[in-house]
Amino acid sequence: HKKLLKKKNERINSYSLLPSKNSNQIIEHKYYTLSYSEKDEQAEWVAYKLTNDNSNKKIKRKSYFRIDPKVESGSSELIDYYKSGYDRGHLAPAGSMRINDVSMNESFYMSNMSPQKPKFNRGVWKRLENKVRYWASIYDSLYVVTGPVLSRPIDVIGSNGVTVPRAFYKTLVGFKEEKTRAIAFIIPNDESDESIYSFSVSIDEVEEITGLDFYYNFKDPIENRMEANNDIYTWLKIGN
């Protein structure tokens, strides 16, 4: 009974950390949830939880890209990216889905892909993904909501008309014992040698640029404090 209650509470807590709903289809996979924008043929956000359990080195990357059968209107397809010059950029990274074979396979649904410039995807974005996984080892648990900035796209690719975002964001909420911290990042879809810390912003700024409402289920004083923080060093001081 206690185990069932614990699982139920974990699920409720995960739901409470999703952005507010709109007219887009909300899709629940076992290890992440997304909101699919048919107009842009990609997720406007993908949300998932990170703990040390996400880093099972025995689970190998399996590049099995395929359409997402849960997208009612049909997801983007591999052919949309063919010779486009853009990578199929993961939103929920394969490296963060090393829980088991199911989680790894889910990470390769096309609904979890967004067009990214190669030097962005394999450069500064990858560095941020690696750092987020490191932070998950410091916090008891880490909730990530990540996605593209879909306004004023830089390109459109494929017969399905996949929007190429001008930037990408991540919002992070970390829990450590009785402490809660939050930070966000907005990074242009381009090559950069800058420190990832230089792209740290408040969640309020991400809300302003995307029009999304994050963490609205928190009590107002907590939400306001979390979403206003843009100081990366406050985020890094969780152990102190």
Q: Name the band, by pLDDT with cuts 50, 70 and 90, for residue 20.
A: confident
For the whole prediction, is pTM greater than 0.85? yes
Contact (Cβ atoms closer than 8 angstroms) between residue 131 and residue 200 = no
Residue 9: predicted pLDDT = 39
Active-site positions read 90
Residues 6+ apart with CB under 8 A from 205: 184, 186, 230
Say which residue, 51 or 211, is predicted with more confidence: 211
| 172-176 average pLDDT score | 91
Contact (Cβ atoms closer than 8 angstroms) between residue 136 and residue 173 = no
The segment with the largest mean pLDDT, out of 36-40, 56-60, 232-236, is: 36-40
Give the residue among 215, 172, 216, 206 at the shortest CA–CA distance from 186: 206
Residue 37: predicted pLDDT = 95
Residue 60: predicted pLDDT = 82
Residue 16: predicted pLDDT = 66
How many Cβ atoms are within 10 Å of 62's Cβ, its own excluded?
11
The Cα–Cα gap between 115 and 148 comes to 9
Give the residue among 2, 29, 1 at the shortest CA–CA distance from 14: 29
Token representation of residue 11: 């699920």
